[in-house]
């Protein structure tokens, strides 16, 4: 049975470290994808590079350092990027289809299902989807933020067996290889722990937005959803074919046996009914201690929602940390926020447990 593979290509891979898209390097990728496609594999490409293509198309003119400028570059560059992909795949007689996605398309249930159906239809017709975040219209609230996390969400949408994150780094190392010449490559990660997150360094390119830390976060989401994930160098010859053949290259992140249940995967597509803003202690408990959210850590409740609905969990800076199913409605949480769990019944006259959102009913980004 053929596999569904999601291949995420970073800007550094598509430009080969230059300021322009590298068509020879992109052609090498297309050759490999075409070979797998001809073997019956279902391939999805999550492609960065729109902003870099836009800068090149506008001859690197000076623009104000604003969100509008970046969206302008994305709008100009996305058409250039897709034209290059189309021309290269046409050499092999392969059709492509463009999909532009924002967080709203992932979090709105109807949009989520529509995106899944479109993706499935493209694959069923032998068309390779080329996916990117819709940077031209996405606001800060609706941005996924980087194509690493987008590729993990796409892998869940497509129910893929494998996610390949290609970058300018060979693999995950135990320390930053750009600073430590004795850094050791980690070939296999059985489970992503806080220690693994700490090994991740920053971005290696000025043109891209995702560093190793975003790749680890993406691998965490994907592997907990049952998707085997690889981080490897896009410059390694025949990298996609060799990974598909099972050769040990880069870092392999094993899919978790205790993968996200269907209920938790649905959280990615459920429309959030409200928001909870939490303090630093609760943020640390969620991100680093893998704990549930207690009422004591909640600072603010936004919106109206009932018990059992999906809510966003944000930190003090407004960053979305997680999605989760609330045990209490907004009125009850307004009364018990900042309070100890043993006070819940006294305050409300009833209780549905000590936590506001249980870890088993939460997806942490």
User: Residues forming the annotated binding site?
Assistant: 8, 48, 135, 147, 167-168, 209-215
Q: Which residues contact 99 (CB under 8 A, 6 or more apart)?
A: 115, 118, 119, 122, 129, 130, 131, 132
Return the structure tokens found at 132: 């990117």
Distances 321 to 183, 274, 275, 280, 363 between C-alpha atoms, Å: 30, 14, 11, 12, 9
Give one DSSP letter per residue of 45-61, joined into a string.
Answer: EEE--HHHHHHHHTTT-
CB 269 within 8 A of CB 112: yes
Only one residue has tokens 């290696």, namely 204
Binding-site residue set for substrate: 48, 135, 147
CB 11 within 8 A of CB 43: no
Find, among 240, 233, 234, 208, the residue nearest to 44 by Cα: 240
d(C-alpha 174, C-alpha 360), whole Å: 30
Give one DSSP letter per residue of 17-85, joined into a string.
Answer: TSSS--HHHHHHHHHHHHHHHHTT-EEEEEE--HHHHHHHHTTT----SSHHHHHHHHHHHHHHHHHHH
d(C-alpha 356, C-alpha 359), whole Å: 10
CB 178 within 8 A of CB 201: yes
Q: What is the largest CA-CA distance in the chain?
A: 71
Return the structure tokens found at 123: 């694959």
Binding-site residue set for ATP: 8, 167-168, 209-215
């Amino acid at each position: 049975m053929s596999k569904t593979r999601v291949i995420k290509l970073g800007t550094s891979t598509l430009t080969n470290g230059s300021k322009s898209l590298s068509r020879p390097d992109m052609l090498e990728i297309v050759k490999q994808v075409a070979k797998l496609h001809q073997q019956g594999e279902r391939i999805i490409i999550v492609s960065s590079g729109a902003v870099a293509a836009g800068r090149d198309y506008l001859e690197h003119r000076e623009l104000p350092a604003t969100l509008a400028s970046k969206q302008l570059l994305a709008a100009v560059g996305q058409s250039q990027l897709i034209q290059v992909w189309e021309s290269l795949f046409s050499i092999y007689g392969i059709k492509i289809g463009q999909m532009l996605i924002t967080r709203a398309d992932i979090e709105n249930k109807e949009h989520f299902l529509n995106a899944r159906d479109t993706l499935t239809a493209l694959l069923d017709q032998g068309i390779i989807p080329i996916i990117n975040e819709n940077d031209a219209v996405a606001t800060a609230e609706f941005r996924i933020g980087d194509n690493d996390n987008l590729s993990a969400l796409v892998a869940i949408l497509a129910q893929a067996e494998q996610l390949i994150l290609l970058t300018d780094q060979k693999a995950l190392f135990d320390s930053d290889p750009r600073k430590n010449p004795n850094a050791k490559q980690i070939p296999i990660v059985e489970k992503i722990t806080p220690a693994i997150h700490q090994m991740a360094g920053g971005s290696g390119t000025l043109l891209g937005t995702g560093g190793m830390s975003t790749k680890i976060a993406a691998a965490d989401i994907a592997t907990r959803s049952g998707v085997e994930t690889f981080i490897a160098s896009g410059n390694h010859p025949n990298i996609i074919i060799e990974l598909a053949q099972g050769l040990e290259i880069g870092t392999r992140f094993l899919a978790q046996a205790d993968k996200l249940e269907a209920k938790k995967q649905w959280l990615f597509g459920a429309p959030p009914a409200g928001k909870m803003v939490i303090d630093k202690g609760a943020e640390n408990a969620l991100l680093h201690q893998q704990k549930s959210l207690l009422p004591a850590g909640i600072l603010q409740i936004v919106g109206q929602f009932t018990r059992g609905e999906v809510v966003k969990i944000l930190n003090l800076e407004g960053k979305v940390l997680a999605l989760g199913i609330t045990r209490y409605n907004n009125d009850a949480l307004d009364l018990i926020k900042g309070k100890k769990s043993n006070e819940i019944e006294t305050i409300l006259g009833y209780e549905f447990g000590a936590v506001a959102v249980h870890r088993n009913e939460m997806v942490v980004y």
